[in-house]
Amino acid sequence: MAFTPPKETYTGKVYTLEIGVPPDTVRFGGENVLPLHGFEGIVPSRPVIAYEIQDIPPDDWPDTVKKPFKDVSDDPVSWAKFCRDALKARAIALRLIGTHPDRENRSPEDAAKTVRDILSAIDVPLIILGSNHTEKDASVLIAAAEAAKDKNCIIGKAQEANYKTVAAAAMANNHKLIAMSELDINLSKQLNILITQMGFDKERIITDPMCSALGYGIEYTYSVMERIRLAALLQNDATMQQPMLGDIGMYVWKAKETQARPEDVPPWGSLEERGIAWEAVTAIALIIAGAELLVMRHPKAIEAVEKVVDELI
């Protein structure tokens, strides 16, 4: 007798999101099955990986990941162009880290200028991220969202402390929005509800349950993502059907394993290879958990993940 694999039937479906301005758009989400379960339903899009760039030079990035960008990272526009033209980035994530009060404390106007410069230099789906200082982000993201008006970007991150302002800015300028909570599935759902109750379309939200790197709590992120996706698909929970973000680079490249030199820890082997592998493995784990949008740094790690996606999804 022929073997028939048992199939799960799902009642829910992940919303499809599209960012960018035609013809330079990317699309993600839309599946009605768990990750890698394409045989049970439809998976219309592959995960999108966005190259992370910054508004200021990446002084705090480890050498391994600074190196590929060393000729361009002094200027966000050249950096963005390099990612788009040389590395064929499908999307770019601009982190306005220079606006953080403990960094250069750049003004919202500075941030807006950076956004405008990039968008006038290249056509690319853009994700605009604050510095994760909830108070400062509120003003920075308003200015950045206005500067990118109608370019169909993603603005983030809206958190419990600032979601009203950030969501309003995204709504007024026709952007998508990242809603981030800190590794708590119930608060993640609550934040989505609160944002939707403001009149923000639930199909324009991306959920960020908060990322973590391999070896540094990835199991928490994995588990929250997995449970969000189960609620979305099996319980048909409309407040949990948003695509999910894995903001990977910033966590991975802080880990000891991406920085310790081989002479200090001989058994760990090549630093460069190790760092790239650390980022790639973290990303693949979160794709398996359900992430559709990833923000990453190292070109070789991204290449490795794309290859896995080619083969598995």
Partner 1 sequence: MLIIGEKLSIMSKRVREAMTKKDKGPIQDIAVSQWNDGAGMIDANIGPAEDGGEDLMEWMVTTIQEAVQLPVCLDTTNYSAIEAGLKIHNNRWGKPLINSTSNDPDRFSMLELASKYNARIIGLTVGKGGLPADAEERAGIAAEIMARASEYGVQLDDLYLDPLVLQISTSQDHAIKVIQAIKMFQELNDPPMKTVVGLSNVSNGCPKLLRPVINNHFLSLLMYEGLTAAIADPVEVIPTVKTINVILGKTLYAHSYLEIS
Minimum CB distance to partner 1, residue 164 (Å):
15
- The letter for the amino acid at 290 is G
The helix or strand, by DSSP H or E, that contains position 301, with its residue range, turns out to be helix 299-312
Binding mask 91-130 for partner 1 (x = CB under 8 A): ----------------------------------------
Minimum CB distance to partner 1, residue 284 (Å):
26
The helix or strand, by DSSP H or E, that contains position 158, with its residue range, turns out to be strand 154-158
**Span of 15-23, 97-105, 227-235, 278-286 interacting with partner 1 by CB under 8 A:** 227-235
In whole angstroms, what is the distance from residue 266 CA to residue 234 CA?
47
Interacting residue with partner 1 among 24, 104, 146, 237 (CB under 8 A): 237
Give the β-pairing of 16-21 and 24-29: antiparallel
Interacting residue with partner 1 among 27, 116, 133, 189 (CB under 8 A): 189
Calculate the CA dihedral of residues 284, 285, 289, 290 and round it to 10 degrees: -20
In whole angstroms, what is the distance from residue 205 CA to residue 194 CA?
12
Query: Is position 224 an interface residue for partner 1 (rule: CB under 8 A)?
Result: no
Residue 80 tokens read as 């963005």
Interacting residue with partner 1 among 231, 248, 277, 284 (CB under 8 A): 231
- The residue among 45 and 162 lying less far from partner 1, judged by its C-beta, is 162
Query: Is position 193 an interface residue for partner 1 (rule: CB under 8 A)?
Result: yes
- The residue among 124 and 228 lying less far from partner 1, judged by its C-beta, is 228
Query: Is position 240 an interface residue for partner 1 (rule: CB under 8 A)?
Result: yes
Total number of residues that touch partner 1 (CB under 8 A)? 15
- The residue among 12 and 262 lying less far from partner 1, judged by its C-beta, is 12
DSSP string, 195-263: HHHTT--GGGEEEE-----TTTTHHHHHHHHHHHHHHHHHS--GGG-S-BEEE-HHHHTTSGGGT--TT
- The letter for the amino acid at 306 is E
Binding mask 148-187 for partner 1 (x = CB under 8 A): -------------------------------------xxx
In whole angstroms, what is the distance from residue 45 CA to residue 28 CA?
5
- CA atoms lying within 13 Å on the CB side of residue 211: 29
Positions in 51-80 near partner 1 (CB under 8 A): none
Q: Which residues bind partner 1 (CB under 8 A)?
A: 185-187, 189-190, 193-194, 197, 227, 231, 235, 237-240
